[in-house]
Each structure stands twice: as C-alpha cells, then as structure tokens.
A and B are shown apart, each in its own frame.
Chain A
C-alpha cells in the first residue's frame, strides 16, 4: 500500500517495513507500531480481556489499555507491549492478542451474547458445579491477554548503580526546569525521561518559554545540562523502588534490545512525571475509533498520523478548543465539539471563546450543555449519539468515524504513592495530587496539578532549587523563565454521561479489564464500599494500565453512586512497576552461569583435565568421580572405593573449612565452644570434636589441631566454614569480648590432599623424600607433623575419614598441583565424593545427613555429653524430650536380602505399626567390601535394637525393602586398619 511520506517531530525519512498479524506494512523511522498502523488505516488492534470486544487505539503512551501487542516469534515472544511504546524497526514482527482464530473474527466474542451473566464477580459465583476444576482448563485458555514466551535468547540486561544529589523523573517543561535550576545551583543532577525525546507535551502544545519557541528552549536547556555535567537518560522510566532507592528501567534498543536497570540513590527526588488524560464514560465508549483527545494530538504532531477523518470531540474544558484547532490545521475535519459545561460555565472571555466562534463560522457544531450519550458502530465508530444534559431524551446522531474524549488530566502519582501515603483531592482538577511527602521527595509541574506552562515552569524551578539547596549545593539557581502556552483549562468535573440502567452495562470505566459502571454499581450493592474492595471485586485498575485512565474516573463514579465526594472515596493503592518490565530486565545479569558463584579448589583444572566429573556441592565445584574409574557414577564410585581399601587413593579435601584460633584465651574459648575440652589436646595432636547450637543440637563436627600452646586450627565440614565462623565470632564479640582471642578464616590458605589406603604411607614417603620418612614411620593416629617441602610449609596429619590408614596433607595452594601429580605418579589414583561416601558410611562416620540440626550428641552416640564440660548448648541437653524412648538415635541398617536396595529418605516401620514410621534412612550406599546395600538411620530408641527387622518404605521411588538393624560401623569396627 503506498502511503505518502508523513511529517512529524519524531519522524525520519527512511522507510521501515514491519509485519502485524501476518501482513506487511510500511512505516517511517521514528514511528511506533501504533502511529504506523494508524497511518496505514488499521483500526482494530486487539480484543478485550473478558468480553472479547473489538478494540482500537485509545491512548498514546504506556497508559494504552487495549492495544497491547505481542512482539517476536513464538519462542522469544514478548507479550503485552503497548503499541504506542513499541518503537518500529525494520523487520519487526508483532501480533494482536487475545483473539482466535483472527482479530476480525473471534469465536469467543460469542460470549458477548451472554454478557449479562458475566458481570463483576461472576468468577466467584459460576463455574462451581460439579467442581471448579472441571472448568479450569477452559478458563486458563481464555484468561489473560498475551502468551508467555517459552525461551529467551535475548541479550542480558546490564545494571548500573548511580548516586546523585537530585534525581528528576520526567523531562517535560517542569522536569527540565527543575533539572536546570538544580544544575545551575551546582548539584549533581540525573534526569530520567521515559520517552525517546525530552520536552513532554511541548512538542504538540507549542508555546514560548522566555524569548524562545518551546522546542528551542528544550534544545538549549539540554545543551546547558550536558555542559554542567548533568546526566539525561532517555528511554528510561522510573519504575519503582523503596526506602530511598529508586529503580529506573532503560529500553534504548526497544523492548527486545539491550536494556539496563539503574539503581539510583538520590539525596533529593523531584517527581515531574506529568499528568495523563482521562476519559468520560458513555455507552459503548470502548469502540475502535474512540480515543483520548491528547492522543490524537500526539499522533498528529509527532508522527503525522491522523486519528480519523471526521471527528467529534467530547470534553469539559477550554483546552478542547485549542486542540480542535490544531487537529483541523493538521487536515482532519471537526464535525462537532460537545462541551458538557453550561454556557455560564464556559465563560465570556479567553481564546476558547474566539476559537469556538471561528469553528461555528466554519460549520462545526459547538454544543455547550450537551453530553455524548453513546457511540454507534460495531467494529468502528459510525456516529455519535448526543443530547442536551437538560433533556437527555432529545437524542440525535452526528455521523463521524472518530470520537475524541477528554474529561481532564490526572497527575501521575505513582512515584509518590508506590510506598503508600494518601493523596489529596483537588476539586479544580477533578483529580488527586500527592498528599504529605517526606522532605526529600516533591512533585512538580502537572504531576503537582500545575497544568499551565508558566505555572509548571515556576513549580519545577522552585522544586529543583529547593532540592539542590537541601542537597548542599550552594550556587545560585537563578530565576524561572516565563512561559506562554495553552490557557487554563477551566475544567468542570464530569465523569459520565446520563444513561438508563441497562445501558450502564456498556459504559466502560476500565477498558483494559472490561469494568463497566454496572459493575461498580453491583459492587456497591454487594456491600463493597471501600475503593480498595471495589477494585478487588471488579478488577478496576489492575493490569498494565494501573488505573492511569481508569482510577480517578472509577473513584468519581463510585462517589457519584454512593452520593459522596471523590475526596471521601480516594484512590486505590498504586503498584510497582510503573510500566511493564520484563522478568529478563529484573533478573539483570543473574542468569545461567552467573546465577550463583562457583568456588574452585586449587586442583580444579587438574580434575577437569583428567576426567573428573565436577558437580556443585553448596558453592563449591567438587569431583563426584573420575571417568577413568568406571562407566557411570555408580560403577566408578564402587571401583574407586574398593581401590582405596585394597591399595590406596587421593582425594581433594581443600574445601574443608579451616579456622585459626589464636591468643592466650584461645584454649578456654574452644572449651566453651566445643562439647569436649580443647585445652587438653597436646601440641602436635588433634582430636575429633563436635560443637552444639544454643539449643543443644549438634551444629558441626571436625578435627581440632593444636598447633602451639596458644594456636589452634579448627576444621569444619565443607561449606560450613562461614556458619561456624559466625557462631564463634558471635561468642567472641559478646560473652568473650575483651579477651585475647582472634579468629581467622584460612580455608583458602591451605590446600588439603587426603592420602588413604594400605599403600598410603609408602607412596607418601616416596613423594616427600628421605627427610620425611622417619616422621611418617613414627607418626601416631591423630598426630601431625609440620615441616617444609619444596620450599614451602607442609603439615602432615594422620587422620582417617575412610577407615583406612590415611594422611591429610595441608600445603600452600601453589604447591597443590605438583604434590597431587607426584602422588598420582607413584600409583595413588584420585577418588571422588561418591567413593568417599561409600567409605564413610561403611565406617559409620557422620555428615550433614546425620548432623541435620535435629540431632543431639546423645542421639548420635557421641557419648561424651556426660563429661560435664560447660559448653554452649549443654544447659539444654537435659530436656526430658531428649531422653524419651521415642527419641530417634543413630543405628546402622542392612538389607535382609543381599541384593535388595534402599535409599536415603525411606521411612522405617515395624510390622505392627505400619502407618507410623519409627525412623528413616539418612544415608545409603552399595558397599563393595560387603557386597550389599548398607546405610545409617535414625530410629526410635525403643526400637533401635540390633537384630530388629524393619521395613524401609519408599513408595515414590522403589517400593518396600526389608532391612535389619546393625551397629553403625559396618566395616572394621575396632578401627584396626587405620591405626596400622
């Protein structure tokens, strides 16, 4: 279709091709999807959420309630983008929503026939028999507007933290004035403007500021702001925040481009977000072709797109005439201007009077004291039905294809009201302005009710100067420029045209949610008087539109129906974000691998290079097994475990938590923190120790080494280091404050290599050399020797978690790889965590599955609770509940049938109480040493007798297995192998 090139303040000359609902159209650079489609004569943009009524364009900003498009192809689609916010680019593909099979022919629109049954609250009354679940699939299919994407290949979103003296939201005349005043006073200023271009309404309202035309003033102001170091962010909307933090969302590349989130901490915040036009309710006011008056002006001035050919205007203020004059100058024909103010309210002087006279001379009907009762037409407006307010039955129609409605302007209070705070009703505006604000936040300009250009400039300037002063800037802000724009609107509040009850069902208050005057009346009848209840009952003001066009209108109509003033009704709470923000933007860069950090040991690269299969365990990446050991995890683990018991192997234990505790009071401190005394450990020896929480439960276990009389190394479970460290730090800073104790996390300062198995001593001796041979021969179980190796410190501790003869090497991370490789070279291959689990279960050693925060030292037979050490937690160990016969304690289990299997988590039941478990399995492994499945379990004391037969029930995973109870140490119960 050949459309002649349009001229508009935002348009460039280049042609842009795009697709809407499968059909190709052409627009120009700078167009939005709304303006281009409008220029191409498209009238139908979507179907409404509940009744599937055909809808067109209504507004020219994010407040657009009906024309929400889906952008992109099936997988990557971004739903619910308001058409006026969708910037065109070559090749854009977009779709209308909520219709099947096509926009023109929608089967679900048949629901319109039953519209009478689908009033507000019908969700709660219908679809109940036989069960609401039967209707769920159908409702899910019909619900919502767009469809969510199933994948996302879009670029990540960046985040920037900013801090400034003065943040100004909105770069219209008031915002620019505020920014300029603050910048001249010397403050650091950031301006956020959600449109791609600054200036707000100046680009279609025009006017003069100082001695300059409005557009020139905007240009020079931006240049001065840049020169003074202020940051102006366009395509960036302030979307929310709280407690002094303001979040702004930037979409410079369009909705599918590289976006950014700004986290701004301003010292002062000026809200100059402007005011949005609101409609007047009349019957069928949702038809395609009914549009806000200001929207038509914007489409004309910015994009050269005509809202229609034959216009009828319906308004309650003087500005309608200036707007009509501009629209006529742009080439559209104004058939009539319906003014619901009486002749007396219209007044006798002002530009509106002369404009009206001129319109009348040119054949336009200007009718004061009249109301537009209804729009005629199905898929598009065909005529307007009007009548005098004094005689609402004397109807007649005026043929037209577009109805432009304006009931006044609503200040955008979102940035003030997101955090609560009651707004104040301003009767001269017929709308609400911000009420009491904290000192650091101020509305200015139209957002504060200053609708005339001169007032907006003065208000903005004052707010900016005040903010700069409060932020500590001492320069001179100067004086606000004088402005001349449209006259004062002289508005008389008017919210809806008269209608019969039955027609109230077609007077739409909220176009996005299909809420009509009848719904509001029904809510009030049902007893929902408070505006918040009305909102929830009728869904007035929910969705992307968030009450921008419907909020004040709804409050005014509710006030009228209740017979009170709008001030008594108020508005419902406004929600963040101000305009739709994709989840992708909120996630920022926290996606995929960047979602959480991965800690690596010094041997990480070696594991990767040698077939180690690494898995995240807490924050660490650790090898589960090595591919060379077996075909899969199970086989590899068994092979590795068997090898450790027969010859030997090495394990990367660097993730072990290590805390150095030093000072004269270190010994006494550790006595307090651990169940048994640390002060009795001799220098050069270690001991297995357990610490408790305040409530007596076991917190963690590990070896404590005494390095020197006043220095200890406390080890903790991997991943528990910071938790135990916090526990220690808390006591050091409260109960032990002022004492000589220091705590230092040295987890990463030492790499740990475990060398285990019958050949461990020989292999280690070969690697460490002659100097160490004697020490290795003499070292006793739980002793350690500190020395040198390859020019760095090395500690060799003889301790075992596998039950075999074993040594733990603590070396500097730079030495880890050479030492490890040397051990591999002498025939000690690596084993992973799966094998470690097998070995430790065979020996009945405990890990997090048993130390799960619900077990006491008595439950785990740590046996030492009777030694009377006044440690943290000991006071609550005597609780009666901890000594009852039903209390679960640790015991071993084996399958009764050799090849049967059971898994951790299985519940254990006795034969005579099959529905009440007496315990559960905490760990289970296949033991290659014993040739069957073994495990550890927590079982009620009275049932935990060796030899008892129980059933392990696991209905979700494998069914039932018969098991018998055995001592927890399955292999080598006397520990002979590790003491060899």
Chain B
C-alpha cells in the first residue's frame, strides 16, 4: 500500500491507501457449505493474510467478505465460488477508503473510542463505528489496518488528529 497522504502525529501515523479494486463476496447461505469451507475463512471475524502479511480476505459480517485489492489467485477462487452458486460478487471499488494506523500511540487513539481488547477478542477483524464513522478494523504488525466508508474518510482523519495522545 502506498502512502498517498501520510499525517505524522505524535507517536501515531495515519496513512491513506491508494484507490484499488475492492470486492465484496456475499454468500447466499451461512455458514457457507462444504465446498467453500476448505478455502475460505468462515469463522466470524476471520482474516486471511497475503504474502506480505497484508489482509486479503476479511469475514467482517455474516456471509460477507471484504477483498481489498485481490490478486489473480484470489480472484479466480472467488469466481469459482460464484460459478458454483455459492454467492455473488460485487465490485465496491470506491466504497471503502483503506488506511493504516501505526505507531506506539495507535492503540491509545482507538481506545478513546472503543474498548479495543473486547472488540477484537478472538478475531482478526471487526466491523464497527469509530468516531461516528463506519469501518472495518483489523490488527496488523505495527498497528491497525482500517477500511473506512469513503464518505466518512475525511471526518475520520480529523477525529484521529484530535485524539492524538499528548505526550
């Protein structure tokens, strides 16, 4: 993910990702049936990681998976699932603004909005509303990856700026 706009706050760094193709796969039934189970993370909040530890498949809602910037292999996998009649694929490019919140103060910033340990307990990702902005949150090395609903992205950035931990 390239840093299109990086705001360096005290101990916290918020980077916005470039606009990439983003898909949502929605299954017709949950839990998904046999064929899908082998390849997909079916536990609530489960996350699949790509080669550079980047989340590539996030199960953030019942029967719904987010695929940020899927590579060819993943795209083929999803297409196979669609062909098998397991669900539909929607191109939602532009709906989610990808961001990364890193640095020693990242958890502190998020703790002013939500009890982080409780929300991410036993799962890799969670759908929630932080500072009034709907988003999907996942833990990554060094901090957190977020996908914020695009129309709220500006407000979210401003909120992180306001909550930067002082000293």
- A contacts B: CB pair < 8 Å: yes
- A contact set with B: CB distance below 8 Å: 156, 158-163, 258, 263, 265, 589, 593-594, 596-602, 604, 620, 660, 662-663, 711, 738-751, 793, 812-814
Q: How far is the CA of A602 from the CA of B159 in the complex (A)?
A: 19
Q: Name the interface residues of B83-108: CB closer than 8 Å to any CB of A.
A: 85, 87-88, 90-96, 108
Within the assembled complex, what's the spacing in Å between the Cα atoms of A392 and B93? 89
Bound-state Cα–Cα, A750 to B111, Å? 33
Q: Return 27 A-B CB contacts under 8 Å, by A number.
A: A156-B162, A159-B112, A161-B116, A162-B115, A163-B115, A163-B117, A163-B118, A589-B112, A597-B131, A598-B154, A598-B155, A602-B94, A604-B154, A663-B28, A663-B88, A742-B27, A742-B28, A742-B63, A743-B26, A744-B26, A747-B95, A748-B95, A748-B96, A748-B149, A749-B92, A749-B93, A814-B94
Q: Which 8 A-B pairs have the closest CB atoms?
A: A742-B26, A599-B151, A813-B94, A662-B88, A749-B95, A597-B132, A161-B115, A748-B150
In the complex, what's the smallest C-beta–C-beta distance from A494 to chain B, in angstroms?
48
Interface residues of B in 51-91 (CB under 8 A from A): 63, 85, 87-88, 90-91
Q: How many residues of B contact A (CB 8 A)?
A: 41
Q: B36 within 8 Å of A by Cβ?
A: no
B9: min CB distance to chain A, Å: 14
Query: Residue on A with the closest CB to B117?
Result: A163
B132 touches A161 (CB 8 A): no
Q: A746 to chain B: which residues have CB within 8 Å?
A: 90, 92, 95
> Which residues of B have CB within 8 Å of A602?
94, 150
Q: Which residues of B contact A163 (CB under 8 A)?
A: 115, 117-118
CB contacts (< 8 Å) of A604 on chain B: these are 154
| Cβ of B6 under 8 Å from chain A | no
- Name the residue on B nearest A188 (C-beta): B117
Confirm or deny: B163 has a beta carbon within 8 angstroms of a beta carbon on chain A.
yes
Contact A601 B151 (CB under 8 A): yes
- B141 nearest CB across to chain A (Å): 23
Dominant SS among interface residues on chain B: mixed
Determine the residue in chain B with the shortest Cβ distance to A793.
Answer: B91
B139-167 contacts to A, CB under 8 A, are 149-155, 158-159, 162-163, 166
Whether B93 contacts A620 by the Cβ 8 Å rule is: no
**Would you call B127 an interface residue if the criterion is a C-beta within 8 Å of the partner chain's C-beta atoms?**
no
- Per-position 1/0 for B109-148, Cβ under 8 A of A: 0011111111000000000000111000000000000000
A744 and chain B: residue at smallest CB distance? B90
Residues of chain A within 8 A (CB-CB) of B153 are: 600
Given contacts A163-B117, A742-B87, A748-B95, contact A597 B162 (CB under 8 A): no
Kindly state whether residue B29 has any CB partner on chain A within 8 Å.
Answer: yes
- Min CB distance, B102 to chain A, in Å? 20
Query: Which residues from A are CB-within-8-Å of B151?
Result: 599-601, 620, 747-748
A741 to B162, CA, bound (A): 41
Q: Which residues of B contact A (CB under 8 A)?
A: 19, 24, 26-29, 63, 85, 87-88, 90-96, 108, 111-118, 131-133, 149-155, 158-159, 162-163, 166
> Chain A contacts of B90 at CB under 8 A?
660, 662, 742, 744, 746
Cα of A740 to Cα of B150 in the assembled complex, Å: 28
Contact of A265 among B93, B95, B118, B152 (CB under 8 A): B118
Nearest CB in chain A: distance from B116 CB, A: 7
Minimal beta-carbon separation of B13 from chain A (angstroms): 20
Give chain A residues whose Cβ lies under 8 Å from the Cβ of B29: 738
Report chain B residues within 8 Å CB of A601: 151
Q: Which residue of A lies closest to B94 (CB)?
A: A813
Q: What residue in chain A is nearest B153 (Cβ atoms)?
A: A600
Q: Is A161 a contact partner of B152 (Cβ separation < 8 A)?
A: no
CB distance from B23 to the nearest CB of A (A): 10
Q: Which of A741, A812, A814 contacts B28 (CB 8 A)?
A: A741
Question: B88, B90, B111, B158 — which one has the most chain A CB atoms within 10 A of its CB?
Answer: B88
**Complexed CA–CA distance, A604 and B117 (Å):** 36
Contact of B150 among A156, A620, A813 (CB under 8 A): A813
Contact of B163 among A158, A598, A599 (CB under 8 A): A158
How far is B116's CA from A162's CA once the two chains are assembled, in angstroms?
A: 9
A265 to B115, CA, bound (A): 9
Q: What separation, in Å, do the CA atoms of A599 and B108 have in the docked complex?
A: 25
Taking the nearest CB of chain B, how far is it from the CB of A790, in angstroms?
14
Q: Which chain B residue lies CB-closest to A164?
A: B117
Closest A residue to B97 by beta carbon equals A748
Shortest beta-carbon distance from A260 to chain B in Å: 9
Q: What's the nearest-Cβ distance from chain B to residue A930, in Å?
A: 36
Contact of B19 among A258, A740, A814 (CB under 8 A): A814
Interface centre among B87, B96, B131, B132 (most CB of A within 10 A): B132
Q: Closest CB-CB distance, B47 to chain A, in whole Å?
A: 20
Min CB distance, B37 to chain A, in Å? 19
B111 touches A160 (CB 8 A): yes
Choose from B92, B113, B133 the contact partner of A597 (Cβ within 8 Å): B133
A407–B151 Cα distance when bound, in Å, is: 63
Our pick among A597, A740, A812 for the contact of B93 (Cβ within 8 Å) is A812
Which B residue sits closest to A811, measured CB to CB?
Answer: B94
Across the two chains, which residue of chain A brings its CB closest to B91?
Answer: A749
B162: chain A residues at CB < 8 Å are 156, 589, 594
Q: Please, how many angstroms separate the alpha-carbon atoms of A599 and B118 in the complex?
A: 28
- Residues of A within 8 Å of B115, CB to CB, are 161-163, 263, 265
Q: Is there contact, CB below 8 Å, between B28 and A748?
A: no
Question: Distance (Å) between the CB of A393 and the closest chain B CB?
Answer: 66
Determine the chain B residues whose CB is within 8 A of the CB of A812 once the complex forms: 93-94
- A596 x B132 contact (CB < 8 A): yes
| A601, B155: Cα distance in complex, Å | 12
Q: What's the nearest-Cβ distance from chain B to residue A596, in Å? A: 7
Would you call A740 and B114 a contact (CB within 8 A)? Answer: no
Of the listed residues B27, B113, B114, B154, the one surrounded by the most CB atoms of chain A closer than 10 A to its CB is: B154
A161 contacts B112, C-beta separation under 8 Å = yes
Nearest-neighbour CB distance to chain B for A812, whole angstroms, equals: 5
Which chain A residue has the least Cβ–Cβ distance from B90?
Answer: A744
Min CB–CB distance A621 → chain B (angstroms): 9
Instruction: Collect the chain A residues with CB atoms within 8 Å of residue B112's CB.
Output: 158-161, 589
Quick one: given A158-B163, A600-B151, A744-B26, are A749 and B94 in contact (CB under 8 Å)? yes
Assuming A265-B118, A601-B151, what are 6 further A-B pairs, CB within 8 angstroms?
A: A163-B118, A589-B112, A597-B152, A662-B26, A749-B91, A812-B93
Q: Do A594 and B159 contact each other (CB < 8 Å), given the known contacts A163-B117, A620-B151?
A: yes
CB pair A161–B114 under 8 Å, yes or no, is yes
Contact call B163/A750, Cβ cutoff below 8 A: no
Give the distance to chain B from A648, nearest Cβ to Cβ, in Å.
26
Residue in A closest to B29 when the chains form the complex, CB atoms: A738
Most buried by B among A161, A162, A813: A161
Once the chains are docked, how many angstroms separate the CA of A661 from the CA of B62?
Answer: 16
Complex Cα spacing A399 to B15, Å? 74
Closest to B86 in A: A740
B154 & A600 in contact (Cβ 8 Å cutoff) = yes
A32 and B149 CA atoms in complex are apart in Å by: 49
Closest Cβ of chain B: how far from A863's Cβ, in Å? 34
Q: In the assembly, what is the distance between CA of A163 and CA of B116, in Å?
A: 9
| A661: nearest chain-B partner, CB-CB | B88
In the bound complex, CA of A749 to CA of B96 (Å): 8
Residues on A with beta carbons closer than 8 Å to the beta carbon of B108:
160
The smallest C-beta distance from A159 to any residue of chain B, in angstroms, reads 5
Interface core residue of A589, A742, A745, A813 (most chain B CB under 10 Å): A742
Nearest CB in chain B: distance from A588 CB, A: 9
Separation of A263 and B24 alpha carbons in the complex (Å): 35
Q: How far is the CB of B36 from chain A (nearest CB, A)?
A: 14
A162-B111, A589-B162, A748-B150 are known contacts. Are A740 and B28 too (CB-CB below 8 A)? yes
Q: Given A158-B163, A748-B149, A813-B150, is A597 in contact with B155 using a C-beta cutoff of 8 Å?
A: yes
Chain A positions within 8 Å of B63 at CB level: 742
A494 to B150, CA, bound (A): 68
Contacts of A600 in B (CB 8 A): 151, 153-155
* Chain A residues within an 8 Å CB radius of B113: 159, 161
Of B92, B118, B150, B155, the contact of A744 (CB 8 Å cutoff): B92
Q: Please, which residue of chain A has its CB at the minimum distance from the CB of B116?
A: A161
Cβ of A599: which chain B residues have Cβ within 8 Å of it?
151-152, 155
